[in-house]
Amino acid sequence: MVRKIGILGGSFDPVHRGHIRLAEDALREAGLDCVLLIPAAVQPFKQDVKTASGSHRLNMLRIATENRNGLRVSDYEIRQKGVSYTYLTMRAIQKLADEACGEGEEARLHFITGTDAFLKIDTWMEGEELLSSYSYIVGTRPGYRQDELEIYIEGIRKKYGTEVINLPGVQLNISSTEVRERIRSGLETGSLLPEGVERYIKENELYI
């Protein structure tokens, strides 16, 4: 029996409805047992970008996933501190999952991402290991870089035997940058944020 685990990483600064929508659609459409949402301590491509503290970002994720079956929050990368390299996280989670599955079972990790990030994975640290060792779930918007994505998927399937599940039309056009800018401008953000997250941001005076 194979236990299918989704991994959704990022800064989550803050977590928004697009993140949760992608996680829940991946959970359902790919038949996953659970999705781990893992906030980065420091993302490799954003080392000069200041974020809310790890504890705040974890708290917001826990609020956002409360009572959502199958979604779990991991503090693995926050606890490691320093730059959060995906290949190290995937190795660690794979080992922990294998140990937890028990005799006769195995865990298969599915890395969940959007189109833009997926098209760059072969340039990431240990990109070949990532592409050859794990499965992928890619959330897309209709027509967005579709031809480029299909060519890329076909190429890595041939080269690495990579399993890729395409989830068309699940990405919401929301960004954490947009949310932060709206907060600084005093604009409404409740429609962009999971229930309870907007209140947490106001109570802790984040992004102002």
Residue 102: predicted pLDDT: 62
Residue 170: predicted pLDDT: 63
Give just the sign of the alpha carbon dihedral 191, 12, 122, 44.
positive
Strand partners, 162: none
pLDDT digit string, tens, across residues 92-118? 999 988 887 665 578 999 999 999 999
Q: What is the mean pLDDT of the chain?
A: 92
pTM check: above 0.85: yes
